[in-house]
Chain A
């Protein structure tokens, strides 16, 4: 009996290993991040990119999309709080960014406020029907435009209009499932208040997401460093170490964190 159990255990381990090793990856295009994730984000995952302001969430997301578009994967950025023109302007400072990607619709920017107006969602609180309509609309866009990479910046400002944790849960689950079925890898940008406990504003998002990438600030000898840490990622093994994140003209660079004399600030 024991023998059989051990054999089963070994087989399960092999199966698990093969599953993980063979699951198709979505390369973020940020080299060090891909190596932390053993090749990239498992395709179809919905990942929460979370952190307080100024930690580089939007830049990371935009680099993820741009790198994808350059690799021929159609990418879409749904902006809730910022006007696309401004984002594109900000991205122009990076060498890898090519405005033609936007022109050729390989990298698509959608202003959610415009969508709200068209769907009659200019209100402070959404009903369940409104939530469904919004989810359907996002799914429709991803499906019909053949989107492979999606960023919603930020999920927090959408959740702000949902009236209960159940609604937030329903919203992210429904969206995540449909996107995963379509093989679309998604980053949900989540704003974290410096005082917040956990990894997300409402506490629900983090439990449902397939992965969590935590971005933060770290003070060291009078310098404020940006840090990044993969807390969880379903479907792959990964390092959970904290890295220092550098925004350079050639894009995001990660370096292992030297801990001496550091004080964490959120």
Chain B
């Protein structure tokens, strides 16, 4: 018998199968400004207390994530793994210094300082994510916001393979995972490769109307339940995202 867990949006749970089956992986498409990040946080918060929640972020600072969640009154007891900050410290900062040195030359007093140590090898952030996921104790809930960072920095085939690992892990232990990604920016092979792996595909879309935006949540794929796909309108109120 299948066990279910919540997405964090009650009305969406109802529209699906009174929640989502444990072990499912969800792909969330969204255009900038449509609220994918908020969705991710709402989803994360819904697991607090019942599941071990891990939140990989590639864009935001930890404090911004926590602050947003507090604004909506959500429980913030989640583990945040900040790939963005680490990427800056380990890679970008180094590149910044290198580009400055290349432009201006190395200042004389820094010639004799040892360069960064060799053991500071390049970190594979993709491996880091799968490693962190592998350490999770079930029941767990994984959020990756967003996959775009990995798609842009690593071999696409490797990203897909890592996603498959994460999905298999979630499936085996009955955890749930939410992955956010931009739609229609990658080659079709990669995109369909990802779509094929995940169990549910959601998309947030905004349409310009006369005096504002209309927001739509599109359910594009529900594994084994083609009848569940559909379009819903949503709003953001003080509780977060709600379907109307």
Interface residues of A (CB under 8 A from B): 110, 114-115, 117-120, 133, 136-137, 140-141, 144-145
Decide if A118 touches B108 in the complex (CB within 8 Å): no
Residue of B nearest to A130 (CB): B102
* Beta-carbon contact of A136 and B105 below 8 Å: yes
A110 and B101 contact, Cβ closer than 8 Å, known pairs A115-B106, A117-B116: no
CB–CB A144/B108 < 8 A: yes
Q: Which residues of B in the span 214-240 have a Cβ within 8 Å of any Cβ on A?
A: none
Q: Which residues of A contact B99 (CB under 8 A)?
A: 120
A152 CB → nearest B CB, Å: 15
Name the A residues within 8 Å of B105 (CB-CB): 136-137, 140
Question: Chain A binding site: helix, strand, loop or mixed by DSSP?
Answer: helix
Name B39-59 residues within 8 Å CB distance of A.
none
Determine whether the beta carbon of A119 is less than 8 Å from that of B106: yes
Q: Which residues of the partner chain A approach B106 to less than 8 Å between Cβ atoms? A: 115, 118-119, 137, 140
Q: CA–CA, A47 to B105, complex, Å?
A: 25
Q: Closest 8 interchain pairs by CB?
A: A117-B115, A120-B98, A140-B105, A114-B115, A144-B108, A118-B115, A133-B102, A137-B105
Interface size class of B (residues with CB under 8 A): 10 to 19
CA distance A114 to B106 in the complex (A): 11
Q: Once the chains are docked, how many angstroms separate the CA of A119 from the CA of B110?
A: 12
Check if B111 is an interface residue, CB within 8 A of chain A.
yes
Query: Which residues of chain B have C-beta atoms less than 8 A from A118's C-beta?
Result: 97-98, 101, 106, 110, 115
B residues in contact (CB < 8 Å) with A: 95, 97-99, 101-102, 105-106, 108, 110-111, 114-116
The reply to whether A120 and B102 contact each other, CB–CB distance below 8 Å, is: yes
List 17 extra interface pairs beyond A118-B98, A119-B98, CB under 8 A: A114-B114, A114-B115, A115-B106, A115-B111, A117-B115, A117-B116, A118-B101, A118-B115, A119-B102, A120-B101, A136-B105, A137-B105, A140-B106, A140-B108, A141-B108, A141-B111, A145-B108
Most buried by A among B101, B114, B115: B115
Q: Which residues from A are CB-within-8-Å of B114? A: 114
Q: Which residues of A contact B115 (CB under 8 A)?
A: 114-115, 117-118
Specify which chain B residues have a CB less than 8 angstroms from the CB of A117 in the assembled complex: 115-116
Residues in chain B near residue A141, CB distance under 8 A = 108, 111
Chain B residues with CB below 8 A from A136, complex form: 105
Q: Taking CB as reference atom, which chain A residue is nearest B116?
A: A117
Q: How far is the CB of B151 from chain A (nearest CB, A)?
A: 24
Tell me, in angstroms, the Cα distance from A117 to B101 when the chains sit together. Answer: 11
A137 to B95, CA, bound (A): 18
Chain B residue nearest to A141 (CB atoms) is B111
Enumerate 25 A-B pairs (CB-CB under 8 Å) in ascending A order: A110-B111, A114-B114, A114-B115, A115-B106, A115-B111, A115-B115, A117-B115, A117-B116, A118-B97, A118-B101, A118-B106, A118-B110, A119-B98, A119-B102, A119-B106, A120-B99, A120-B101, A120-B102, A136-B105, A137-B106, A140-B105, A140-B106, A140-B108, A141-B111, A145-B108
A25 CB → nearest B CB, Å: 28
A127 CA / B111 CA spacing, docked (Å): 22
Complex CA–CA separation, A110 to B110 (angstroms) = 11
CA–CA, A110 to B115, complex, Å? 12
State in angstroms the CA–CA spacing of A110 and B95 once bound together.
Answer: 22
Alpha-carbon separation in the docked complex, A119 to B114 (Å): 13
Kindly report which residue of chain A lies nearest to residue B106, judged by CB atoms: A118
* Contact between chains at A119 and B111 (CB < 8 Å): no
Compute how far the CA of A133 lies from the CA of B95 in the bound complex, rounded to whole angstroms.
15
Q: How far is the CA of A217 from the CA of B84 in the complex (A)?
A: 59
Q: How far is the CB of B69 from chain A (nearest CB, A)?
A: 39
Give CA–CA (A133, B101) in the complex, Å. 9
Enumerate chain A residues within 8 angstroms of B111, measured Cβ to Cβ.
Answer: 110, 115, 141
Most buried by A among B95, B101, B116: B101
Q: Are B101 and A119 neighbours in the complex by a CB distance under 8 Å?
A: yes
Shortest Cβ gap from B52 to chain A (Å): 40
* Chain B positions within 8 Å of A137 at CB level: 105-106
In the complex, what's the smallest C-beta–C-beta distance from B21 to chain A, in angstroms? 49
C-alpha gap A137/B106 in the complex (Å): 7
Q: A119 to B111, alpha carbons, bound, how many Å?
A: 11
Q: Which residue from chain A places its CB closest to the CB of B108 in the assembled complex?
A: A144
Q: Which residue of A lies closest to B102 (CB)?
A: A133
Residue of B nearest to A140 (CB): B105
Q: How far is the CA of A138 from the CA of B197 in the complex (A)?
A: 53
Chain A residues with CB under 8 Å of B116's CB are 117
CA distance A117 to B110 in the complex (A): 12
Residues of A within 8 A of B110 (CB): 118
